[in-house]
Amino acid sequence: MSMKPATTKPAFGTPDEIDARLATAQAKGLIKLKPISANLGVEVEGVDLKNKLSPEQVAHIYDALIRHKVLVFKRIGLNHEQQVRFTYELSEVSENIGAPTIGHTVFGHVDNYPEIFSVYQGEKSKPRNMARYEASATTHPWTGYHCDITACVNPPSIGMLRGEIIPEGVGNTNFGSLAAAYETLDESTKQQVATLWAEHEYKYGKTKGSEAGDSIASRRMVSHHPLVTVHPETGEKVLFNSPAFLKFVVGLSDEDSTALLHKIWEHSVKYTITHVWDEGDLVVWDERSTTHRAPTDIYSAGTERQLYRTTIVGQPLHGLDGSVSKIIEGEPMLSCEEELTSQMHVGRTGSATTGNGFGSAFPEPG
Ligand SMILES: [Fe+2]
């Protein structure tokens, strides 16, 4: 594989150019941004997501998203209709993102709201493999981090979660910047990962025969993505690692692959933030440049949490030399409408808890 610079110009400009646009919008009072950390995250005020947005407002929000990677709208209290409407508005902003997809590619959706996935955690959804997960998390701090559904050749471009029932003192979500993770790698590791690819798989080993396991088995997905990707909007280089889905580095021995991945994963979790939920929060993240991890402390607290996710389709990812993600098994993620008519969801109940017990522990949801 020859090394060439990425051939496409960043669609939305360099980070400096985006900053200049955002500074102008803020000076005009069109949006207000309060940074959360040096590497990622801003609180957004001054835009009312309950009502239809103008194209200019959506453009400011998208600029803020691709620049800061995680947007937090505190206590805005959207309902299903408003979240879906905003998801569609955001999906129109760039040719590099697709339409909103179905609630969950594998687990279904909320009844009557096909774009919404219910993320419920409580005693009745406690994963059977929780003890194994917690043991892993103590020795491997990246346990549970993932970008959503990277087993798919075109993983989501944008995800968003809305907090509806929020427990006190538990249930935080972590987000990490994979652009900061790349930027801060040492030079020899940058050289090493520049042309490598990784296999991502949606796998559910231990509990075959469960509802979640059957759902995953019904839609097998395996893809190869570059280990370093180029963000289509900003041109930023991204250390695209999704521990919960990423199984091995293509072409390396098992030992070398594991050693490299552990090094990358340990490094990546240094560039993370913690979101402490309040009821009514909406958090929007750029799936192409971030990773995230769902909490697991809700189960032992004997409480419950209810979030709702919507997700926008992405494109196959581009490596540093312009090469593009490859399907090994399975179908691309489609728009909500296409997913509904594809026959890929026949037999799924779309019930509010489908998949969540599994999800909270391993790759899904938020
Ligand atoms: Fe997730």
- What angle, rounded to 10 degrees, do the helices at 80-91 and 55-68 form? 80
Domain boundaries, the chain: 15-361
4 CA distance to ligand 1 middle (Å): 32
Whether pLDDT at 86 is above 50: yes
Half-sphere exposure of 300 (CA within 13 A, CB side): 8
- Decide: residue 209, CB within 10 A, 0-12 exposed, 13-18 middle, 19+ buried: exposed
**How far does residue 41's CA lie from ligand 1's centre (Å)?**
17
From CA 362, how far away is CA 358, in angstroms rounded? Answer: 6
Query: Ligand 1 centre from 161 Cα, in Å?
Result: 10
For the stretch 255-311, pLDDT in tens is: 999 999 999 999 999 999 999 999 999 999 999 999 999 998 898 888 999 999 999
**Ligand 1 mean position to 115 CA, how many Å?**
15
On whether the CB atoms of residues 102 and 340 are closer than 8 A, the answer is yes
Measured in Å, residue 251 CA sits from the centre of ligand 1 at: 28
Q: If you measure from the C-alpha of residue 216 to the centroid of ligand 1, how many angstroms do you get, rounded to a whole number? A: 15
Q: What is the pLDDT of residue 62?
A: 98
Confidence of residue 343 (pLDDT cuts 50, 70, 90): confident
Question: How far apart (Å, rounded) are the C-alpha atoms in residues 246 and 348?
Answer: 26
CA 175–ligand 1 middle distance (angstroms): 10
Q: Is the pLDDT of residue 362 over 50?
A: no
Q: Which two tokens stand for residue 100?
A: 């909103």
Tell me what the mean pLDDT of segment 5-10 comes to: 62
In the block, residue with structure tokens 């900061």: 180
Q: Residue 269's pLDDT is what?
A: 96
Q: Residue 3 pLDDT more than 50?
A: no
Q: Tell the CATH topology of 15-361.
A: Double-stranded beta-helix (3.60.130)
* Cβ atoms within 10 Å of 81's Cβ, excluding its own: 10
Q: How far apart are CA 48 and CA 57, in angstroms?
A: 9
How many secondary structure helices (H) and strands (E) does the chain include?
Answer: 11, 16
